[in-house]
Amino acid sequence: MSRKLPKEEYDKTLSGKFEKWLSGSKDPYVGHVEMQKQSIDPEYEKLKKQNLKEKKEIRERIYDLENNSKIRKFRKIYRGFSILFCLFLVAMLLFAVADLPPFGNADNPVNNEVSARYIEKGLQETGAVNIVTGMILDYRAFDTLGESHVLFIATCTVLILLRVDKNSKKRKEESDAEIDDRHFEPKNDLILQSAARFLVPLIIIFGVYIILCGHLGPGGGFSGGAVIGAGLILYLNAFGFEKTERFFTAKTYKWMSFGALFCYAAAKSYSFYTGANHIESIIPLGVPGAIISSGLILILNICVGVVVSGTMYAFYVMFRKGGF
Amino acid sequence: MEFVRNFPFISIVLSLFSGPLSSVLNGKWARRVNYFVLCVLGAMQASVLAYVLQTKGAFVYTMGHFPAPWGNEIRAGVLEAFMALFFCIIMLLCMIGGVKEREKEIEPGKQNLYYIMTNLLLCSLLALIYTNDLFTAYVFVEINTISACGLIMIKQNGRTIEAATRYMIMSLLGSGLFLLGICFLYDLTGHLLMSNIKEAVAGLVSTGQYQNPLMISICIMCVGLAIKSALFPFHTWLPDAYGYSTVSSAAILSSLVSKGYIFLLVKIFYRVIGFDIISNTKIINILFVFGIAGMIMGSVGAIMESNIRRMIAYSSVAQIGYIYMGFGLGTTAGMIASIYHIFSHAATKSLLFIAGSGITDCSDGNVNFKKLDGAGYRNKLAGLAFTVGSLSMVGVPMFSGFISKMFFSQAAIGHDVKLLPTLIALAISTILNAVYFMKTVIRIYIPVKDTVGRENYRNIKMREDPLKSAALILLIILNFILGLNSEPIIRFIESGLKMFS
């Protein structure tokens, strides 16, 4: 090999580093990523084995499968019946679907005055270029109001199930007893952090774009909120709870979803009330195609987006460590 | 337009909004908000009822600037307003009847979550009652399912979590079938608004088009709602869910949640399919058979049960069976009897659950039937309330259960084929009811003989838990009102059903 530089200097240049990496003599992870060898605790292993054995014994004692022919029979019959039931359901539904109006036919009952008005007058009446958004957030906004509360109540139910109350005695004993990784922060992974530093702002900006342009093109609160939520989850995974808790705590989430749902309910109540009482709404529809247009739809989209992103993030946090 | 017409809409939005509001309050304030909202809503439903009775006609309320087939719509008639008023009253009584238990059994940090669940549950019930649109009904069925799950599992022990899981699976199966039914119906008729679907269905039936998918869609909608309201073969989730959850949850679930779905089914019969069409199909015969099976099997299950809470829960299976049997008769008289039974059962079952908790409290928390002797002396009001509830369930005159049984048999008399099975089932079920309820009533009035293992039994005075005593007294009064003064209620139901079509 002909080399102009001496060996030590060559090793410091880019190509030298590359050659070293290629030959495998240097591991780039070493010194940059926290690495720990997994230690095997012999007592823990013993405990695990014992637990498994006890579980098996208890199972055998409860069901006593070898001697209890009733349970064996029941299981067989149960399996048989469930297969039969599913086949019956499938057959019935196929039978029903076979007789439905053919797909895409112009004479179908679905192609009636309802969809005609959505398509023909949707732009003019709601101001939204995207007809679907106009339908779900203006024509049928009451359904979407319910739907956003479905998300809210789903998070509340997960809160009931998973939130670890730090003050409660019972929980303290439990968390001391069981070995869990709830409180361990993610390791400082350089690759993940560098990627996250680059990707998270992009993802969040893209989510905001989807929400804000919901009335102009494909998108809207639900999809944009999900994208923002994904960005937040990526950030959390890369940098850990200490950093996210500076701007996103349980309190933030509570007030955020309360505020968004309140705005949604208030805005829609105004439009329901004025509509039913035949009062002219003061909200202008604006020029179709402009960002600030189509009346309340933009605000509603933002509210839905806030709720959805909060819900996504809250779900993740709840499953990860049982609370913010 | 009169301002009263806004009340159904305002009450739905108010209860919807009080859910997120409770999430930022602490448990104490959330409870106050909940009581306040329930009282306001009750007053609103009462004024809607008065207004509808005065104008003698139902009114529709457009939700937004777009008229019905394009936008959403809600509709209020006599039956809707009366049902909503009744639900608000029962819910308030259930909530104040179980305050102490809730505070003991739910972790302090999660108290406010309970009120989120109840507020949104109430909202979904009101929306199910008032909606005039099938898809809106589905959206609120979702809220109803999830909040009911939360109500079951908020008292966190193994049994309630298992019960909630089971409830979730069964209930989602029901929702899925209901949604499939709506999809089929939408494909066949092109509408989601109830009155428009009814027109289109009448057209389809008269021309004979798409008969198979139409029948199958009606069928799977009925099955979906039957699963959710625990009709007999689908009742397996019920005993655990009612038996182990906290008292107010059990009372609310048994007296309101399942009734909400049944009322939706009534609306589907009358406002979506048309009662003439549905009473000519064989679907109601199947409902009739399962209703009768439920009446008997539910009571048998209750007799075999030694846990008093689960016994009361099994009795619900039997009572749901009564309601479906009334649907199965396929006559207006049968429907009236069923709807009356919804009221009667709601008032009685919540009374029984709250009284049952009083009885077990004074017996050191024992739920086993054999350890309850003398409970009627230790907690006099709960004993009295349990007796009243039992007598009503058995069907003794003066109590509400008697009236509904009488209407069921009267409705059956007009029917030639179903007369005999109905009367026999009613007779058998009454005897079985008497077996397990009277057994318990006698047990709680036997003085304690053997004091071993009963050292912690204590007397509970009415003043110890004034809210629960008030709830029990009001529920007893409500039971007597339903039993002694059934005429106006039957009139409401009759005129309400007329307004449906």
The per-residue pLDDT for range B179-223, each reduced to its tens digit, is 999 999 998 888 889 988 998 999 988 988 888 889 999 999 999
Query: How many domains would you assign to chain B?
Result: 1
Give the residue from A93, A113, A147 where a domain finishes. Answer: A93
B108 touches chain A (CB under 8 A): yes
Interchain contact, B108 vs A167, CB within 8 Å: yes
Domain count, chain A: 2
Q: What is the pLDDT of residue B126?
A: 94
Residue A91 reports pLDDT greater than 90:
yes
Burial class (CB within 10 angstroms; exposed 0-12, middle 13-18, buried 19+) of A78 = exposed
pLDDT at B12: 92
* B149 in contact with A, Cβ within 8 Å: yes
A287 and A161 in a common domain: yes
Mean predicted confidence (pLDDT) in A160-183: 59
User: Do A213 and A307 share a domain, yes or no?
Assistant: yes
Q: Give me the pLDDT at residue A180, please.
A: 47
pLDDT at A177 over 50: no
pLDDT reading at A178 higher than 50: no
Residue A50 touches chain B, beta carbons under 8 Å: no
Do A109 and B187 count as a contact with CB atoms less than 8 A apart? Answer: yes
pLDDT in tens, B458-474: 787 877 888 889 999 99
Is A41 a domain residue?
no
Same domain, residue pair A169 and A292: yes
Q: Are B73 and B62 in contact (CB under 8 A)?
A: yes
- Residue A179 pLDDT: 44
Please state, in angstroms and rounded to a whole number, the distance separating the CA atoms of residues A291 and A29. 47
Same domain, yes or no, for A80 and A148? no
In this structure, the answer to whether residues A199 and A253 fall within a common structural domain is: yes
Residues A234 and A146 in one domain: yes
B321: tokens are 């069976």
Phi/psi at B307 (5° precision)? -85, 125
* Residue B338 phi, psi (nearest 5): -65, -45
For the stretch A141-169, pLDDT in tens is 889 889 889 989 998 898 888 877 665 55
In degrees to the nearest 10, what's the CA dihedral of B143, B149, B150, B155? 160
pLDDT band at A25 (very low <50, low <70, confident <90, very high): confident
A304 in the same domain as A221: yes
Asked if A78 and A213 sit in the same domain, the reply is no
How much is the pLDDT for A31? 66
Q: Point out the residue among B19, B149, B210 whose CB comes nearest to the CB of A152.
A: B19
- pLDDT, tens digit, 9 for 90 and up, residues A226-283: 999 999 999 988 888 777 888 888 888 889 989 999 999 898 888 888 888 888 777 7
Residues A174 and A307 in one domain: yes
- State pLDDT tens for residues B294-311: 999 999 999 998 889 999
Rounded distance between C-alpha atoms, residue B266 and residue B257, angstroms? 15
Residues 163-202 of A with CB under 8 A from B: 163, 165, 167-168, 171
* Local structure of A308: helix, strand or coil: helix
CA distance B261 to B283: 17
Share of chain B above pLDDT 70, in %: 100
Indicate yes or no: CB of A153 within 8 angstroms of CB of B189. no
Enumerate the residues of chain B whose CB falls inside 8 A of the CB of residue A271.
64-65
With beta carbons under 8 A apart, name residues in chain A contacting B117. 153, 156-157
Q: What angle (nearest 5°) sits at the alpha carbon of residue B261, between those of residues B255 and B263?
A: 85
Q: Which of B95, B88, B75, B116 is nearest to A149 (CA)?
A: B116
Q: Does B186 touch chain A (CB under 8 A)?
A: yes
A155 falls within a domain? yes
Of residues A96, A139, A254, nearest to B70 (C-beta):
A139
Contact assignment for A262 to B20 by CB distance below 8 Å = yes
What residue has token string 């009267």? B410
Q: For residue B404, what are the domain limits? A: 3-500
Question: Which is nearest to B270 in space by CA: B81, B3, B501?
Answer: B501
Instruction: Indicate the length of chain A as a whole number.
Output: 324
SS3 annotation, B8-55: HHHHHHHHHHHHHHHHCCCHHHHHHHHHHHHHHHHHHHHHHHHHHHHH
A157 and A79 in a common domain? no
Among B5, B14, B16, B204, most A C-beta atoms within 10 A, so best to mutate, is B16
The pLDDT value recorded for residue B143 is 94
pLDDT digits (tens, 9 = 90+) for B226-276: 999 989 888 889 998 998 899 999 999 998 999 999 999 999 999 998 888
Query: Are A164 and A295 found together in one domain?
Result: yes
* CA separation, residue B343 to residues B14, B174, B268 (Å): 24, 24, 19
User: What would the two tokens of residue B109 be?
Assistant: 């940090």
b/e burial code for range B422-436 (CB count within 10 A of at least 16 → b)? beebbeebbebbbeb
Average pLDDT, chain B: 89
Q: What is the pLDDT of residue A203?
A: 95
Instruction: Please check whether residue A89 lies inside any domain of the structure.
Output: yes
Write out the residue range of the structural domain in which residue A72 sits.
47-93
* Alpha carbon distances (Å) from B27 to A104, B97, B111, B163: 54, 17, 5, 25
Q: Which stretches of chain B score pLDDT less than 70?
A: none
Same domain, A67 and A167: no
Name the more confident of B220 and A123.
Answer: B220
pLDDT over threshold 80, residue A304: yes
**Cβ neighbours for B412, distance < 8 A, ≥ 6 positions apart:** B329, B334, B418, B419, B422, B423, B426
Closest residue by Cα to residue B231 from B174, B282, B177, B183: B174
CA A134, A138, A140 angle in degrees (round to 5)? 105
Q: Taking Cα atoms as reference points, which of B181, B89, B194, B96 lies closest to residue B136?
A: B194
Percent of chain A predicted with pLDDT > 90: 19
Residue A2: predicted pLDDT: 57
Mean pLDDT of A69-84: 88
- Taking only residues 75 to 94 of chain A, the set having a beta carbon closer than 8 angstroms to any beta carbon of chain B reads 92-93
From residue B320, give the alpha-carbon distance in Å to each of B37, B229, B241, B291: 29, 8, 16, 7
Q: What is the pTM of this model?
A: 0.89
Give the ipTM of the model, two decimals please. 0.89
DSSP for B370-386, written as a single string? GG-TTHHHHSHHHHHHH
**What is the DSSP code (8-state) at residue B62?**
E
Residue A37 pLDDT class (50, 70, 90 cuts): low
Residue B286 to residue B473: CA distance in whole angstroms: 39
